[in-house]
Amino acid sequence: MENELREYSVGELARTAGVSVRMLHHYDAIGLLKPAHVASNGYRIYGYAEALKLQEILFYRAAGMPLREIAEVLNEDQPLQRLLIHRQTLAKGLTDQAAMLATLDRTIAHLSGEAPMPIEDLYKPFSAQQQADYEDWLVETYGPEMAEAIEKARKHAEESPEGFSENRIKRLREIETALVASYEAGATPESVDLSAHQNWVSDMWGQPCDAQAYKKLSELYLAHPDFIARFETLSKGFSQWLSTAMTAWSERD
């Protein structure tokens, strides 16, 4: 609440946002970001709403959007709706880049005389170093609670007789093969039954994967290029489809 009531001079807002005062003056001049009010001494004063708007402008600028288009976007919809649309655009861009990287890696391997990776290799457990790297990334991205979840999953895997066994990998292969077949047959993400996949995740975690956790997992699948590249190897465009399907499944009535 304190932050929402705070006011910033043009210099303070510039320092906080990491932009120049000149830029803020320009945004004011073209009507893109007006101050909340102008003090009696002529200083521009910005509030919390203006700081949020500046953050949104910087999101769009980072994506390469011209100021004229940003002004048009800001006049449409509500801030939350605009940001959700922008997030979807960024997620799609990340998916496309990861797909291109996966294709590029396969091309480089071919030109280098290396044998292409068999599809079965997608289902081999991560190496110890890969696993450690992914866990570090998860904790850094999602915070301390993720570290607790990882520790619980690790303990379950160590205590489970099945562990990351061939039988468990085989079940995942069968589940994903069926999903890829549905995707390539033209099924919409909202029409598929993901109960088997959600149950497999619960089994791997050693605890229930409820709707909220399953939705978070769908976001994770589009948050790391390695996950995207893996699903794109199964079928081009499958990563986005699967994530959308998981979100729809978690939000079903």
Query: What is the side-by-side order of every strand in the sheet holding 37-38?
Result: 8-9, 44-46, 37-38
Domain closes at, from 74, 91, 115: 74
Do 129 and 172 share a domain, yes or no? yes
Note the pLDDT of residue 250: 92
Do 61 and 161 share a domain, yes or no? no
String of b and e for 6-22 (b: at least 16 CB within 10 Å)?
A: ebbebeebbeebebeee
pLDDT band at residue 2 using 50, 70 and 90 as cut-offs = very low
Nearest by Cα to 102 from 223, 222, 233, 239: 233
Number of domains in the chain: 2
Domain of residue 133, residue span: 80-250
Query: CA 119 to CA 107: how far, in whole Å?
Result: 16
Contacts by 40-45, CB closer than 8 A, 24 or more apart: 43/9, 43/10, 44/9, 44/10, 45/7, 45/8, 45/9
String of b and e for 215-237 (b: at least 16 CB within 10 Å)?
A: bbbbebbbbbbebbbbbbbbbee
pLDDT per residue over 167-209, tens digit each? 778 888 899 999 999 999 999 999 999 999 999 888 877 778 8
Under a CB-based contact definition with an 8 Å cutoff, are residues 225 and 101 in contact? yes
Which CATH number is 18's domain given?
1.10.1660.10
Do 63 and 88 share a domain, yes or no? no
Most confident of 88-102, 127-141, 215-229: 215-229
Query: CA 158 to CA 155: how far, in whole Å?
Result: 5
pLDDT band at residue 13 using 50, 70 and 90 as cut-offs = very high
Note the pLDDT of residue 192: 95
Do 12 and 84 share a domain, yes or no? no
Do 66 and 89 share a domain, yes or no? no
Do 112 and 216 share a domain, yes or no? yes
Instruction: Report the sign of the C-alpha dihedral through residues 107, 109, 113, 118, in that order.
Output: negative
Do 13 and 133 share a domain, yes or no? no
Beta bridge partners of 46: 8
Do 14 and 135 share a domain, yes or no? no
Query: CA 4 to CA 195: how far, in whole Å?
Result: 43
pLDDT band at residue 54 using 50, 70 and 90 as cut-offs = very high
Q: Where are the alpha helices (DSSP H) in 116-189?
A: 128-142, 144-159, 166-184
